[in-house]
A = this chain, B = another copy of it.
């Protein structure tokens, strides 16, 4: 027989599943407490036994998305041979393209990672912050191969910059408010940017 705690944990998972599906299909605005309750077969108020509020639910969905993104980037950088100076730029390009592909295929879920704001003065939990940090590691490793002479702090900062720059191209490129960019063009744009930055990094001062 299932204990109460186990059933609750199962229901919590169902709830996050349903929330993830709702956001993926209809965006953050499509996330409705009443729909979720009906979907997982519980009363409206019971949701608040599983999560504190909708913000926490969005945060948990974001956590999943971040984990899948991390896996996708790992897969992209793991394809080639291990550390090699010649292919460092290629690996950075592969990671950037994987980031773009993930964003495109998980558009709504990817967006809330950056656009979701907590209600009022609520603080983002520590685990959510530290999760985001791990993303930079996919860039830091190839970058360390590319720039073995730079200080660790400098490479860390450069990772952040590189990630942000690629993120910006992806974010603006996938924004339908501006004129839509075709897939191929966006990919080329990203590869061009990464190679450009790599060339700048290794060019003589």
Q: Could you list 7 examples of A-B contacts with CB < 8 Å?
A: A163-B172, A164-B165, A165-B166, A165-B168, A165-B169, A196-B200, A197-B200
The verdict on A41 contacting chain B, using a C-beta distance below 8 Å, is no
Verify A171–B178 contact, CB threshold 8 A: no
CA–CA, A129 and B175, complex, Å = 12
**Interface size, A (range):** 35 or more
A182 CB, nearest partner CB in chain B, Å: 12
Verify A164–B160 contact, CB threshold 8 A: no
Which 8 pairs across A and B sit closest by C-beta, in order of nearness?
Answer: A168-B168, A200-B200, A165-B165, A196-B200, A164-B172, A164-B169, A199-B200, A203-B203
Q: Which residue in B128, B164, B195 is a CB contact (below 8 Å) of A173?
A: B164
